[in-house]
């Protein structure tokens, strides 16, 4: 396993080129199971999670070619229908092969994804949605068995007490493209990644309306064609690097990303007194000496993204006053708090609310990464800590941030990757 050494005290300045969105490309790769025709995907980030999805598609009879930042997916065979535990357990997003597999091949056996450090992460909505479409669903031996002689469109409510489900919406939207009749998904997720998937499905010939709103309508088709698509940029990567720049007292320019992807984040930064400018399609941020305390609540899009909650705690720890962070999506997503406190933060958790004391100075420590976004938060703390911070279990970062080290170095950070 690798570790990351981070020398604090450098102001990060400059421009970062975003990679393609991890959370858009994974369901788009799964959409290739809806057709036997060739599919081309561009702006694909080279991430561990993408490589895992490639392996799953190959086990399911696809042949995948990965050149530069483009994927070509061809069909070798369309008979297999099992997504094995050894692959699915390493990446929860694998579960979004269930809907397309069932719709196209009439049956699927997909390992239930494990929980992870951010919460138990059930998949009951995915299975409820498929049952609404007429599928037979059975759970046995840690696998979800699904079968159907032909899915039937239906109106359904796909919400949980924690809001809509991003991958649940993706699974049902994909399955319904080959169902007969009309499907209406109420309380659908509105994330840009769901909209990007809908764009791909429409390129394949699907009839979809309402993507990006809480109600998506799909009129099923008999067959879908291949597609060519360029994946949207990664808004969570954008938000993460914005935190790196502000936390270290620097500045950052991010080009080629839609401002609407980061509305809640920009609003939070402005409330915290930070300089944010939108100039011809670019977002320019600059640290203002004084950070105002804030009360941040994570919500489904377009609310403040849960995937930036950990990173923002580093900024709130530097604010002049007391802030709160309320986690409405994953109430237990606070694994990063003890590690941040070991670096000098003073954060107290009361259930799904964390109280963050301000004016804290981070100091170096050896810390353990626990999940993708918690790791990024520890990097942010290390970048503004005195001394050298060592972050263990770097593979968490490799899952979701492409060329992470070189992007940091280009902004002036002093970091080094090492073997444990
Ligand atoms: C997606 O996960 C993202 N992953 C997550 O990003 C992100 O944090 C999450 O959406 C929320 O925005 C990918 O897109 C690959 P959900 P997903 O289903 O779809 C509950 C990252 O770091 N729920 O929208 O799995 C669930 O427990 C990752 O990139 C049910 O109750 O999340 C949670 O409280 C981490 N039943 C809420 O809904 C279900 O069947 C939102 O989960 C499904 C979800």
Q: How far is the CA of 94 from the centre of ligand 1 (A)?
A: 12
What confidence score (pLDDT) does residue 416 get? 97
Collapsed DSSP state (helix, strand, coil) of residue 104: helix
Question: What whole-number distance in Å separates Cα of residue 130 and Cα of residue 126?
Answer: 6
Q: How far is the CA of 122 from the centre of ligand 1 (A)?
A: 9
Q: How far is the CA of 168 from the centre of ligand 1 (A)?
A: 8
* Pick from 297, 295, 385, 286: nearest CA to 339: 385
Residue 369: pLDDT band by 50, 70, 90 thresholds? confident
Contacts of 267 (CB under 8 A, 6+ apart): none
The whole-chain average pLDDT of the chain stands at 96
Rounded mean pLDDT, 236-252: 98
Instruction: Report which DSSP code applies to 303.
Output: S
Contact (Cβ atoms closer than 8 angstroms) between residue 54 and residue 103: no
Rounded mean pLDDT, 318-331: 97
Class of 22-230 per CATH?
Answer: alpha beta
Give CATH superfamily name and number for 2-19+233-419.
Enolpyruvate transferase domain (3.65.10.10)
What confidence score (pLDDT) does residue 117 get? 73
Domain ranges of the chain: 2-19+233-419, 22-230
Say whether 22-230 and 2-19+233-419 share the same fold.
yes
Least confident of 278-282, 313-317, 348-352: 278-282
Q: For ligand 1, what atom is nearest to the CA of residue 331?
A: 34
pTM for the full model?
0.97
pLDDT reading at 116 higher than 80: no
Q: For ligand 1, what atom is nearest to the CA of residue 191?
A: 12
- Residues above pLDDT 70, as percent of the chain: 99
Strands (DSSP E) contained in 192-322 are 207-209, 215-219, 227-230, 251-254, 275-279, 282-286, 295-298
In total, the chain counts a number of residues equal to 420
Q: For ligand 1, what atom is nearest to the CA of residue 128?
A: 40
Q: According to DSSP H, which parts of 82-121 are helical?
A: 85-88, 98-105
Tell me which residues have their CB closer than 6 angstroms to ligand 1: 22-23, 26, 92-93, 119, 121-126, 160, 162-163, 165-168, 189, 193, 306-307, 329-330, 372-373, 400
What confidence score (pLDDT) does residue 407 get? 97
Pairing mode of beta strands 366-368, 2-7: unpaired
Rounded mean pLDDT, 391-409: 94
Collapsed DSSP state (helix, strand, coil) of residue 241: helix
What confidence score (pLDDT) does residue 115 get? 63
Instruction: Report which DSSP code applies to 113.
Output: P
């Amino acid at each position: 396993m690798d570790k990351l050494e981070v020398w604090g005290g450098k102001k990060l300045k400059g421009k970062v080129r975003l990679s393609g969105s991890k959370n858009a490309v994974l369901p788009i790769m799964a959409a290739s199971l809806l057709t036997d025709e060739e599919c081309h995907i561009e702006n694909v980030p080279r991430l561990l999670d993408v490589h895992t999805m490639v392996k799953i598609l190959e086990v399911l009879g696809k042949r995948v070619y990965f050149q530069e930042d483009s994927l070509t997916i061809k069909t070798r065979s369309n008979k297999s229908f099992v997504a094995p535990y050894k692959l699915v357990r390493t990446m929860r997003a694998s579960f979004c092969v269930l809907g397309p597999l069932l719709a196209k091949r009439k049956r699927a056996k997909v390992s239930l994804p494990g929980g992870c450090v951010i919460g138990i992460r059930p998949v009951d909505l995915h299975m409820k949605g498929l049952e609404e479409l007429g599928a037979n669903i059975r759970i046995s031996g840690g696998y979800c068995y699904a079968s159907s002689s032909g899915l039937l469109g239906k109106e359904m409510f796909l919400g949980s007490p924690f809001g809509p489900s991003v991958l649940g919406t993706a699974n049902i939207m994909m399955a319904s493209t080959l169902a007969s009749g009309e499907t209406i998904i109420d309380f659908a997720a509105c994330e840009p990644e769901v909209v990007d998937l809908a764009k791909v499905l429409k390129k394949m010939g699907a009839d979809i309306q309402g993507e990006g709103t809480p109600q998506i309508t799909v009129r099923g088709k008999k067959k879908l064609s291949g597609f060519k698509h360029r994946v949207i940029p990664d808004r969570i990567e954008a938000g993460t690097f914005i935190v790196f720049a502000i936390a270290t007292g620097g500045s950052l320019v991010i080009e080629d990303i839609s401002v609407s992807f980061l509305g809640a984040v920009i609003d939070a930064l402005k409330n915290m007194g930070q300089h944010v400018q939108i100039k011809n399609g670019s977002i320019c941020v600059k640290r203002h000496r004084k950070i105002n305390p804030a009360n941040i609540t994570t919500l489904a899009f377009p609310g403040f993204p849960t995937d930036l909650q950990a990173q923002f705690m580093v900024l709130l720890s530097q604010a002049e006053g007391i802030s709160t962070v309320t986690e409405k999506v994953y109430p237990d997503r606070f694994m990063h708090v003890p590690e941040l406190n070991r670096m000098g933060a003073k954060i107290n958790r009361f259930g799904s609310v964390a109280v963050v004391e301000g004016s804290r100075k981070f100091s170096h420590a050896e810390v353990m990464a626990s999940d993708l976004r918690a790791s990024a938060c520890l990097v942010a703390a290390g970048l503004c800590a005195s001394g050298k911070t060592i972050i263990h279990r770097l593979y968490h970062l490799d899952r979701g941030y492409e060329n992470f080290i070189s992007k940091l170095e280009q902004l002036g950070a002093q970091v080094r990757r090492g073997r444990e």
